[in-house]
Structure 1
Amino acid sequence: MVDAVVQVFLEKLLKALSEESHILSEFRDQFEKLQSQLVLMQSFLKDAVRLKSKKETLRTIMVDLRELIFEAEDILADCQLLSRDKDLFSTGWLMCIYPTKLPWQYQTGKRLKEIHEKIITNKQDIATYLGVSILNQPEPVYGCNDLSQNWSSPVYDHTQVVGLEDDKRKIKDWLFGADDGILKIGVVGMGGLGKTTVAQEVFNDREIEGRFERRMWVSVSQTFTEEQIMRSMLRNLGDASVGDDRTELLRKINQYLQGKRYLIVLDDVWGHDFAWWYRISEGLPKGNGSSVIITSRNEEVVQKMGVYEERIHRPKFLSKANSWLLFRKIAFAARGGECPELEDIGKEIVDKCKGLPLAIKVVGGMMLYKLPRYHEWKRILDHFRDELKENDDSERGLMASLQLSYDELPPNLKSCFLCFSLFPEDCVISKEQLVYWWIGEGFVPLRSNRSTTEAGEDCFSGLTNRCLIEVVDKTYNGTISTCAIHDMVRDLVLKISDDDAFFRKDGIGCRHLGIKSDLDPKLLIANRKLRALLSTTKTGEVNKIASRTAKALCQSRYLRVLDISKSIFETSLSGILNHICSLQHLTYLSLSNTHPLVQLPSSLEKLSNLQIMDVSYCQNLKTLPSYIVTFKKLKVLDVSHCGSLECLPKGLGRLSNLEVLLGFRPARSDQSEGCRIGELINLTKLRSLELQITRADEIGDNEVNALVNLQELQYLSMSCFDSNSDGSDLITKVDKLFPPQQLHELCLQYYPGKMSPKWLNPISLPMLRSLSISSGDIAEFHPSFWGDDNIVWKIEALMLESLSDLGVEWSSLQQVMPSLRIVTVSWCPELESFSVEDFGYKGGVWKKE
């Protein structure tokens, strides 16, 4: 990933050199020389990266180059920090970095000169090894054949599958024929063949949902425990069960399933000791047609778990026709699925995938981002052939396709992709956590005309569209919220991460580590290179951090990212937070769901570099300190789901770079030190806002225009829960609080009025594409909601939930929303003549086919 390291450093350096910095100006000449050398090197660095895995000498040179660039980046960060905070000269902070008597400026200049000279030598060695001239090199070509500029969302439907109709029908027939005992079905085949996809298609089928009263999906990792399996089953049944022992867990499972027809999917089972399964299956209720589906790469596994031969399904490789169909649905998605001029060479590329769905999807995702030019596609085919010269079997073809897709990633996406190495097998990962991490560490390309969070979402879409990560959960309108990676993809990520010291399982010498309960504090103390420490727990789990580990979290001076969410600490949390202030380079701090966080200490005021601060789900947090408003670089502030937090500090409107503000509660008229809603008018870069209004006096008569001029705002969630009165005053105020016209998505919750707000209409919100209304008293829509003959809604996704009084005609809604594609309706008993005949049911929602 040296090309990725170079690009990140060059972007940071370009930004730094554009700033008026007294300290940085002392070393401007050295930094500009570094910049010049690295820009020249970019033109042939991609080839060097591709070949280094095969050439040990080249690999050694690249490792040395990577470490030099990281060191230069740390020096640059120190210069920027000292330019902003001259007090650090007198506090002894510099002596901790350079503990000698020589002046800091002298040492820095000397070291930059040495780095520059070594990089020149590296450049010459790499060029000689590749047989290229270092004279008259062209400008870097990264991105010239990459079509990712404006793809902030999936380009194609990630739920589509090809060639599995017969597989699905066969397993469904078995399930419908189940009677006594527990039917056991096995799905067996090599990695990437589509075992999990077949099981998911069956599990999410509407007829299957109707047949089984309880359904449980359990991902079985290679390092599972019996308790983890049972807790996962219970989470599927809505029970967290944190403290129960094995016997109690099994008793609860039995109790939930007693008298019910249930379906359990055990996905990707390994190992040879199945005592855990015998104990669990013995404790399960029998009969009623209950069934278990087991997927595994090993046929012996499903046999030992009790699956009879006649109930083992072995998915086949895709036919040539289906292989081509799947490939072109992805590779030509931006062109309607067709590109006749590339069909012949495209089929040659597909043939190398040997009918493996995972390989076809990944290669198709890679080609989606290539210009439709024959010579570019021929280059990919030639690389494929080179990888398969020795052995052209299916598994080697799969790994070659994965490696090729990684090699062809833009440099910044390589860094983003390797972040998945920190997460345990079968972990469901939050998109939000990933994007914030990428922003915090500088992996997101800096563009003057684009918001940082939007650019981060583009990076995420770049990986999903390339099929390198899999979609797990989506919101009602199709926005991806969580993801995972295939275990074969994870094998590749772990190998590359280990080679490039991005992440290593032993934690030695790498720059990124996952925080978990058994983390050895010695790894933190010994490794001063760390850039990121993140909580990587699975869903429903928490980290229990020992005192020694907690004290070691702040040992790495150049830490950019610290995420200690979902953690319980043996030692005082306030003591740990006081130590965090020493992390002067920190850009992303997440304390989400930490226990028990009551207040933030004054020492955190020193974290002037913070761009992202997340204290969501901290139910005991009572106040936010006033110094938050001095964090001028802050782009994201998340205080959502903090039940004890009454309001935010006055002066929040000074955070002019804020792009995401979640959980905002306006101060009441009697809260003089709190932030009023009128301050939002100054947050002109705001893209996402979650607003919680509980009383009418939180909106002054002169503050009703607080939102209407926020021209960058795309997402607005407005919760209007009023527990103190009949809500009439609040309704009046909210009706005047017009959102901006360019709003893209609106979520309205707990609205207390019987009639919807008058601004909820297609004239006031002409750009609205997604609308969610839930848990309120709305019985009818304002007359303006229905538009007129010439103006109708452009809404594509609609969710109506828990609206017990809503009595409008469904046909009227469809008429005024002709672009509607996705519909989610639940607990709306008065919604008249509700019908979804024009929609197909998939994944729990109705979608227009």
Structure 2
Amino acid sequence: MENGCFKIIEPFLNYCKVKSMADAIVNVFLEKLLSTLAEEGRYVTEFRDQFEKLQTELQLLQCFLKDADRLKRKNHTIRKILADLRELIYEAEDILADCQLQSKDENQFSQGWLACFSPPKLHFKYQSGKRLKEITEKITSIKQNISSFLGGPLLFQPEVISAQDQMPRWSSQVYDHTQVVGLESDTQKMKDWIFDAVHEGAQEILAIGVVGMGGLGKTTIAQKVFNERDVEHHFDRRMWVSVSQTFTEEQIMRSMLRNLGDASVGDDRNELLKKINQYLLGKRYLIVMDDVWSEDVLWWQRICEGLPKGNGSCIIITTRIEKVARKMGVKEARIHRPKFLNKDYSWLLFRKIAFAASGGECTSTDLEDVGKEIVEKCKGLPLAIKAVGGMMLCKAPYYREWRRIADHFRDELEENDNSVMASLQLSYDELPSYLKSCLLSFSLYPEDCVITKEQLVHWWIGEGFVPQRSSRSSTDAGEDCFSGLTNRCLLEVVDKTYNGTICTCKMHDMVRDLVLKIAKDDAFYNATGTNYRHLGVDNSMDKKQLIANQKLRGLVSTTKTCEVNKIESGIAKRFSECRYLRVLDVSKSIFELPLSSLLYRVGTLQHLTYLGLSNTHPLLELPDSLENLTNLQILDVSYCQNLKFLPQYLIKFKKLKVLDVSFCGSLENLPKGLGRLSNLEVLLGFRPARSNNGCRIGELRNLTRLRTLGLHLTHADEVKDSEFNAMMNLQDLEKLSMSFFDSHGSASDLTSKIDKLCPPQQLHELSIMFYPGKISPLWLNPLALPMLKYLSISSGNLAKMHKNFWGGDNNIVWKVEGLMLESLSDLELQWPKLQQLMQILRVVNVSWCPELVSFPIEDVGFRGGVWIKEQIRN
């Protein structure tokens, strides 16, 4: 771009980066629009006048839009104005995206400046310039309408905001999501009922009901009981089923069987029930039916009739409707009605979250006074307390800021006496605009759906929701966004790794109700609409939603499990009309038409940035048409067992940041030249070629932005002598996983090559799976990996640790905080010696390692400052 044009736009670019607009989508794409203006050259300067006028009008609107979220909920006129503005911003952003494609196409040819005068180019310039002028005029009209509504002109008064306020205070998890308060008596009462059933010799299934209003903590109480160690030991089988408001009897039984380790694909209802009976026959079992709504309980009566009786088995039902519990067989004496948290417990829960960074202690009298005022408005409802607590955790600890939040909460309660919904609305209003966009993405998923963090982060990056910072990788920034939502208690954690990293999450139904409403109002998603910009792929997908929608930006697989998705041929043919589609995730899908036919049409979507084909069958190869997807940033083909090779054109995807080919059993190697993808941040499932016909491990040297690497080695000749240092200079690499599953040839030959590899010293997390050698690698020592925090070793032949592992003659100790040892039947280690070597160890997860000496046998929580997960002996 010409210097003069950039100087005009640059102040506004900086200004937009620190302001907060009401409509989340407007703000996200406004920033994308303006950043594109700054980056692009030829085509932007062609429309310089139009863009300068557009910049001026948006600049004036920015002041009004800062506080428009609450206004639009109250006033239909404001809501309509914002909706019109949103559509104009989307269209302007589309024009800029087309400009980028045009500029890219010109650079691919050697026609020079004469190409600009070809008929297609002239037509594009004429149409785009004309439409930009119309957009600017409409935004001018919007500004005038707002001025009339406010009774005066809009004035531009930029604020000075520090860099600290531009990002959330906590971009990683800072508190334990599992901690609860005030549930000791609730838990004990229900456990007494469970254990008494055995002593009383009950011949029927004990039915316990947990009944109360939304946000009272019914599910939390049931989870607490379900996960108690003595309850776990008491039952042979345990099943947790999230029922939700929309379910089928077959879905319930499939969920029960999944809890029992059976995928049960293809069985009918009678066969499913027979399987459940066989698994439970002669066993004492516990079933939790969480969040039951329907008063028609015939489905449960049919299931219950097929369950084995006696043995002290138990069913726990959580519901808001007492009649439901009674109809499901719960007697009055076994109905538990949770009470509101008292004043002390309410304050304790709040400060555990809001002051988590200081160990849950409030050291400011002023903040304590305001905090207790806020907590009092929550009326003892745990969900409300957690929502406002999570919000305050992410706010600066200043009295003025807390006072503002308390006043805002008071105003919300005047309009909505439901303290839970008021607290959730307040929490949403206080989100940074990019987190609002991230939160709205949950509107596509079914109720109680368990969602992987990976899919969410990929979606957010692909659609541009994640704010870009020069010093922060896209994947790390996406993780920050996820942490921003979990820290605010807007997401419920479902599953974590041994080191505390969150893998999956879900959303409380009351939070989801709010998200659905906002998503509909902001034209993000509506289950019954045909003109929204995002759509979930599931079995009930209405083809009209796709056929009629050319505005679509994201099409995302939202199935709860690996169910069959069917995309009809007629729908697939319309893909090419969704020309501004950024995100396409059809993972876990089986198609009625050949998958190659669908992907051929996907190749026309040149704006696509995220393509998710994980666990998609039968994917044999990627068609040539995908070569056009040069804007692609994320490609996920993991768990595609039939995928045999990746095309050579993959190395042209210069913008690619994430490439996941993990668990592709038929894939031999990756294309030669992969090292040219210098923007790669995540590479999973990398199999080095055994010859020069594919990508050798030496090409990793060029991937200097890698943050996460998954390496799969099976043959000694996959590593040449000149390639031992391939990973040494990957200074940004923090996570490395090495798998040797299905290794061939001499184990000693492969292990001798592994010994000579040089992982980077700054590595934070290391995972080793199916290691073929008896003695640990030479480089697995505290001197070579001085910054290692988490170490996981699972499966394989490992029998003892090399002397280097113990610090050698220098007596160097590890800085490891988390350790997992799993399925190592030959490994001999002594717990006291390991503790002495890893002195800051906090988490230990050990299972199926029978030769370990002095390791604790049971999950006993903290012992000597270390959390011991479990040690199982054969």
TM-score range, shorter chain: over 0.9
> Any conservation in 1 of the 2:589–2:615 contact (CA below 8 Å)?
yes
Q: Which amino acid aligns with 2:386?
A: K
Selected match of 2:535 from 510, 513, 529: 513
1:93 corresponds to? none
Q: For the residues of structure 1 that align with 2:58 and 2:275, how far apart are their CA atoms?
A: 61
Q: For the residues of structure 1 that align with 2:858 and 2:447, how far apart are their CA atoms?
A: 40
1:95 corresponds to? none
2:801 corresponds to? 781
Selected match of 1:126 from 146, 149, 162: 146
Selected match of 1:602 from 624, 631, 646: 624
| CA deviation vs aligned residue, 1:563-596 (integer Å, no higher than 9, x gap) | 1111111111111111111101000001111111
In the alignment, is residue 693 of structure 1 matched against residue 708 of structure 2? no
**Cα 1:132–1:287, aligned 2, differ >3 Å: closer, same or farther?**
farther
Instruction: Report how many residues are paired.
Output: 833
Q: For the residues of structure 2 that align with 1:527 and 1:370, how far apart are their CA atoms?
A: 39
Q: For the residues of structure 2 that align with 1:349 and 1:527, how far apart are their CA atoms?
A: 44
Q: For the residues of structure 2 that align with 1:547 and 1:447, how far apart are their CA atoms?
A: 41
> Any conservation in 1 of the 2:562–2:588 contact (CA below 8 Å)?
no
Selected match of 2:399 from 374, 399, 407: 374
> Any conservation in 2 of the 1:786–1:816 contact (CA below 8 Å)?
yes
Return 783-792 or 450-459, whichever deviates more. Answer: 783-792
Selected match of 2:851 from 789, 810, 830: 830
Selected match of 2:659 from 619, 634, 637: 637
1:455 corresponds to? 477
> Any conservation in 1 of the 2:557–2:586 contact (CA below 8 Å)?
yes
Q: For the residues of structure 2 that align with 1:113 and 1:775, how far apart are their CA atoms?
A: 64
In the alignment, is residue 138 of structure 1 matched against residue 158 of structure 2? yes
- For 1:544, what is the secondary structure of its paired residue? coil
**Cα 1:270–1:33, aligned 2, differ >3 Å: closer, same or farther?**
same
Selected match of 1:84 from 104, 114, 117: 104
1:538 corresponds to? 560
Q: Which amino acid aligns with 2:812?
A: I
> Any conservation in 1 of the 2:858–2:869 contact (CA below 8 Å)?
no
In the alignment, is residue 339 of structure 1 matched against residue 374 of structure 2? no
1:806 corresponds to? 827
> Any conservation in 2 of the 1:358–1:398 contact (CA below 8 Å)?
yes
> Any conservation in 2 of the 1:216–1:265 contact (CA below 8 Å)?
yes
Return 139-148 or 165-174, whichever deviates more. Answer: 139-148
Selected match of 1:677 from 693, 697, 712: 697
Q: For the residues of structure 2 that align with 1:131 and 1:260, how far apart are their CA atoms?
A: 74
Q: For the residues of structure 1 that align with 2:407 and 2:758, how far apart are their CA atoms?
A: 57
**Cα 1:297–1:566, aligned 2, differ >3 Å: closer, same or farther?**
same
Q: Which amino acid aligns with 1:429?
A: I
> Any conservation in 2 of the 1:428–1:472 contact (CA below 8 Å)?
yes
Equivalence map 1:346-385=2 (5 Å): 346-385=371-410
**Cα 1:425–1:838, aligned 2, differ >3 Å: closer, same or farther?**
closer
> Any conservation in 1 of the 2:815–2:838 contact (CA below 8 Å)?
yes
1:389 corresponds to? 414
Selected match of 1:524 from 546, 560, 564: 546
Q: Which amino acid aligns with 1:363?
A: V
> Any conservation in 1 of the 2:631–2:655 contact (CA below 8 Å)?
yes
**Cα 1:131–1:183, aligned 2, differ >3 Å: closer, same or farther?**
farther
Q: For the residues of structure 1 that align with 2:678 and 2:415, how far apart are their CA atoms?
A: 58
Q: For the residues of structure 2 that align with 1:276 and 1:373, how far apart are their CA atoms?
A: 54
Spell out structure 1 runs of 4+ moving beyond 6 A: 87-90, 99-102
Selected match of 2:181 from 139, 154, 162: 162
The alpha carbon displacement at 1:643 in A equals 0.6
> Any conservation in 2 of the 1:146–1:371 contact (CA below 8 Å)?
no
> Any conservation in 1 of the 2:859–2:868 contact (CA below 8 Å)?
no
Selected match of 1:214 from 237, 247, 269: 237
1:721 corresponds to? 741
Selected match of 2:496 from 460, 474, 495: 474
> Any conservation in 1 of the 2:789–2:817 contact (CA below 8 Å)?
yes
The alpha carbon displacement at 1:336 in A equals 2.9
**Cα 1:284–1:527, aligned 2, differ >3 Å: closer, same or farther?**
same
Q: For the residues of structure 2 that align with 1:225 and 1:722, how far apart are their CA atoms?
A: 41
Q: Compute the RMSD of aligned alpha carbons.
A: 2.2
Q: For the residues of structure 2 that align with 1:555 and 1:67, how far apart are their CA atoms?
A: 18
- For 2:771, what is the secondary structure of its paired residue? coil
Q: Which amino acid aligns with 1:474?
A: K
1:427 corresponds to? 449
The alpha carbon displacement at 1:136 in A equals 4.2
Q: Kindly, what percent of the aligned residue pairs are identical?
A: 70
| CA deviation vs aligned residue, 1:121-180 (integer Å, no higher than 9, x gap) | 32343355456763341247597646625x342111111111111111111111111232
**Cα 1:609–1:147, aligned 2, differ >3 Å: closer, same or farther?**
closer
Q: Which amino acid aligns with 2:839?
A: P
Q: Which runs of 5+ in 1 are unaligned?
A: 91-98
Q: For the residues of structure 2 that align with 1:20 and 1:510, how far apart are their CA atoms?
A: 29
> Any conservation in 2 of the 1:146–1:369 contact (CA below 8 Å)?
no
Selected match of 2:676 from 645, 654, 669: 654
Q: For the residues of structure 1 that align with 2:57 and 2:130, how far apart are their CA atoms?
A: 18
**Cα 1:6–1:246, aligned 2, differ >3 Å: closer, same or farther?**
closer
- For 1:750, what is the secondary structure of its paired residue? strand
Q: Which amino acid aligns with 2:269?
A: R
Q: For the residues of structure 1 that align with 2:441 and 2:791, how far apart are their CA atoms?
A: 33
| CA deviation vs aligned residue, 1:179-208 (integer Å, no higher than 9, x gap) | 322111000101111000011111111111
In the alignment, is residue 48 of structure 1 matched against residue 73 of structure 2? no
| CA deviation vs aligned residue, 1:348-367 (integer Å, no higher than 9, x gap) | 11111111100000111111
Selected match of 1:68 from 77, 88, 107: 88
2:813 corresponds to? 792
> Any conservation in 1 of the 2:683–2:709 contact (CA below 8 Å)?
yes
Return 757-766 or 719-728, whichever deviates more. Answer: 719-728
Q: Which amino acid aligns with 2:841?
A: L
- Per the normalisation by structure 2, the TM-score is 0.92
Q: For the residues of structure 2 that align with 1:418 and 1:323, how far apart are their CA atoms?
A: 29
> Any conservation in 2 of the 1:24–1:80 contact (CA below 8 Å)?
no
Q: For the residues of structure 1 that align with 2:483 and 2:49, how far apart are their CA atoms?
A: 38
Q: For the residues of structure 2 that align with 1:755 and 1:723, how far apart are their CA atoms?
A: 16
**Cα 1:186–1:722, aligned 2, differ >3 Å: closer, same or farther?**
closer
The alpha carbon displacement at 1:830 in A equals 0.1
Equivalence map 1:321-332=2 (5 Å): 321-332=344-355
> Any conservation in 2 of the 1:268–1:297 contact (CA below 8 Å)?
yes
In the alignment, is residue 277 of structure 1 matched against residue 300 of structure 2? yes
Q: Which amino acid aligns with 2:452?
A: S
Q: Which amino acid aligns with 1:365?
A: G
**Cα 1:675–1:147, aligned 2, differ >3 Å: closer, same or farther?**
closer
The alpha carbon displacement at 1:297 in A equals 0.5
Q: Which amino acid aligns with 1:225?
A: T
Q: Which runs of 5+ in 2 are unaligned?
A: 1-20, 111-118
2:197 corresponds to? 178
> Any conservation in 2 of the 1:48–1:126 contact (CA below 8 Å)?
no
Q: Which amino acid aligns with 1:249?
A: L
2:769 corresponds to? 749
Highest RCO, 1 vs 2 (Cα 8 Å, sep ≥ 6): 1
> Any conservation in 2 of the 1:188–1:314 contact (CA below 8 Å)?
yes
